[in-house]
Chains A and B, each alone.
Chain A
Amino acid sequence: MPLRDYRVHRYVNAFCPLCHEEAPDRPLAEVRRLSGWLAVRDDRVWLERGCPDHGLVRTLYDESPEILTYLEQWTAPTKVHQPDATGNFKPVPSAYEDGLPQMQTQHTCILLEDLLDHCNLKCPTCFAESSPALASVAPLEQVLASIDTRLSRENGRIDVLMLSGGEPTLYPQLEELLDAVIARPIVRILVNTNGLRIAQDDELVALLRRHRERVEVYLQYDGESAQASITHRGADIRRFKDRAIERLSAAGVFTTLTMTAALGVNDDEIGHVVKRALDTPYVGGVTIQPVFGSGRGSGVDPLDRLTHTGVLARLEGQTGGHVTWRDLTALPCSHPHCCSVGYLLRDDAGEWRSLTSLIGHDRLKEWLDLEPDLLANRIADDTIPDAMKAVVKGSLLDLLSEQSSLSHPSMSTIWKDICTNCDIGIGTLATLASSRLPGRHERLRAMLGERVLRVTVKPFMDMNTMIEERLTQCCVHVATVNAETDAHQCAPFCAVQAWAPLSRTRISTATGGRT
Chain B
Amino acid sequence: MTDPRIVPTDVPAMDTAGGGTADQAPDPLRLCIFATVALLGWLLGPLALAFFAGLGAVGYARARRAGLLRSKCLLGDTRLVLGYLALLVVVAIAALVVGFGPWRLW
A residues sitting closer than 8 Å to B (CB atoms) are 2, 17-18, 48, 52-59, 302-303, 464
CB distance from B60 to the nearest CB of A (A): 14
Chain B residues whose CB sits within 8 angstroms of the CB of A464 once the complex forms: 5
Chain B residues whose CB sits within 8 angstroms of the CB of A57 once the complex forms: 5-7
A2 to B22, CA, bound (A): 8
Chain A residue at minimal CB-CB distance from B69 = A53
Given A52-B67, A53-B69, A53-B70, A59–B5 Cβ distance below 8 Å? Answer: yes
Judge whether B7 and A48 touch: CB under 8 Å: yes
A17 to B4, CA, bound (A): 12
Judge whether B67 and A55 touch: CB under 8 Å: no
A2 to B3, CA, bound (A): 27
In the assembled complex, B68 has its CB within 8 A of some CB on chain A: yes
A369 to B3, CA, bound (A): 45
- 12 of the cross-chain contacts (CB-CB < 8 Å) are A18-B3, A48-B7, A52-B67, A52-B68, A53-B69, A55-B6, A55-B7, A57-B5, A59-B5, A302-B5, A303-B5, A464-B5
Contacting residue for A58 out of B5, B23, B69, CB 8 A:
B5
Contacting residue for B5 out of A2, A18, A52, A53, CB 8 A:
A18
List the 7 closest pairs (A to B, CB-CB), nearest first: A56-B7, A53-B70, A58-B7, A57-B5, A56-B9, A54-B6, A59-B5
CB distance from B94 to the nearest CB of A (A): 34
CB distance from B11 to the nearest CB of A (A): 10
Chain B residues whose CB sits within 8 angstroms of the CB of A58 once the complex forms: 5-7
**Helix, strand, loop or mixed for chain B's interface?**
loop
Chain B residue at minimal CB-CB distance from A54 = B6
Chain B residues whose CB sits within 8 angstroms of the CB of A303 once the complex forms: 4-5
Q: Which residues of B55-100 are within 8 A (CB) of A?
A: 67-70
Chain A residues whose CB sits within 8 angstroms of the CB of B69 once the complex forms: 52-53
Judge whether A55 and B9 touch: CB under 8 Å: yes
Judge whether B22 and A18 touch: CB under 8 Å: no
A53 to B63, CA, bound (A): 12
Judge whether A18 and B6 touch: CB under 8 Å: yes
CB distance from A281 to the nearest CB of B (A): 46
Judge whether A54 and B4 touch: CB under 8 Å: no
Q: Tell which of B4, B22, B23, B68 has the most Cβ of chain A within 10 Å.
A: B4
Chain A residues whose CB sits within 8 angstroms of the CB of B67 once the complex forms: 52
CB distance from A211 to the nearest CB of B (A): 47
Chain A residues whose CB sits within 8 angstroms of the CB of B23 once the complex forms: 2
Chain B residues whose CB sits within 8 angstroms of the CB of A54 once the complex forms: 3, 6, 70
Judge whether A56 and B6 touch: CB under 8 Å: yes
Chain A residue at minimal CB-CB distance from B14 = A1
Chain B residues whose CB sits within 8 angstroms of the CB of A53 once the complex forms: 68-70
CB distance from A427 to the nearest CB of B (A): 55
Chain B residue at minimal CB-CB distance from A2 = B22
CB distance from B15 to the nearest CB of A (A): 13
A59 to B5, CA, bound (A): 6
A56 to B3, CA, bound (A): 11
A65 to B78, CA, bound (A): 40
Chain B residue at minimal CB-CB distance from A51 = B6
CB distance from B71 to the nearest CB of A (A): 9
A53 to B73, CA, bound (A): 12
Contacting residue for A17 out of B5, B9, B22, B68, CB 8 A:
B5
